[in-house]
Amino acid sequence: NAGVTQTPKFQVLKTGQSMTLQCAQDMNHNSMYWYRQDPGMGLRLIYYSASEGTTDKGEVPNGYNVSRLNKREFSLRLESAAPSQTSVYFCASSEARGAHQPQHFGDGTRLSIL
Amino acid sequence: QQQVKQSPQSLIVQKGGISIINCAYENTAFDYFPWYQQFPGKGPALLIAIRPDVSEKKEGRFTISFNKSAKQFSLHIMDSQPGDSATYFCAASIAGSARQLTFGSGTQLTVLP
């Protein structure tokens, strides 16, 4: 049982390049999330998907787009990468909307923008 | 704007000691307060959580104390061990869409052998 799988684990981009971060969960969870983690700032929500077919902005959505491809997969796209987007990105999933269910996190994608 | 404030930023404790991490919040609509533990190179994992209708929750060596009137909650790690060395995040969420979590800034705990 893999839980939440993120690919790639590491990536270096040049300013202006685009890329997609992939996330898949095998726990049949309804909700999925993308966070970025920066030193001294905790985890900040970029986008989330309450259920298949829906997506909503979080706290820091600018410069990102997401796609909930199906119930298992939720991708994050950087259309034109900027150095300010250098961060560690985490995907998470949880069981049900509106319930006190824990979020399960992947091990992150470490992204550097030069 | 940071809706959940966490302190201290870093903490060093001797093996066997008590580690205490504090969090404060402003939004009275928060109704769920989890703590996450993160080891280097890994994603955060749920450690323990509390709802505001109780003042304390204990799981093994980990205890959450909750003060609703002061809008504060804290994590106590009793008999701290070197294996507890990690980054700890408090968080809060509101009932409703997708249970979005608002995280504190994190505390890096080091337990010396």
Beta-sheet strands, E only, within A50-108: 56-57, 64-68, 74-78, 87-94, 104-105
- Report whether B85 contacts B17 (CB < 8 A): no
Give the side-chain half-sphere CA count within 13 A for B97.
11
Contacts of B43 in chain A (CB under 8 A): 4, 90, 92, 105-108
B41, B39, B4: which is closest to B24 by C-alpha? B4
Task: Give the percent of chain A with pLDDT over 90.
Answer: 81
Contacts of A94 in chain B (CB under 8 A): 98-99
Lowest mean pLDDT among A12-26, A41-55, A62-76: A41-55
pLDDT, mean of residues A43-52: 92
pLDDT, mean of residues A37-57: 91
The pLDDT, as a whole number, for residue B74 is: 98
The pLDDT, as a whole number, for residue B48 is: 95
Please check the confidence at residue A92 and state whether its pLDDT lies above 80.
yes
pLDDT, tens only, B66-100: 999 999 999 999 999 999 999 999 999 887 656 68
CB-neighbour burial class of residue B44 (10 A; exposed 0-12, middle 13-18, buried 19+)? buried
| CA–CA separation, A102 and B47 (whole Å) | 10
pLDDT, tens only, B3-40: 899 999 999 999 999 999 999 999 988 989 999 999 99
Which amino acid is residue B58, in one-letter code? K
The pLDDT, as a whole number, for residue B10 is: 97
CB contact under 8 A, B46 and A99: no
Nearest CA to CA, how far is A50 from chain B (Å)?
Answer: 5
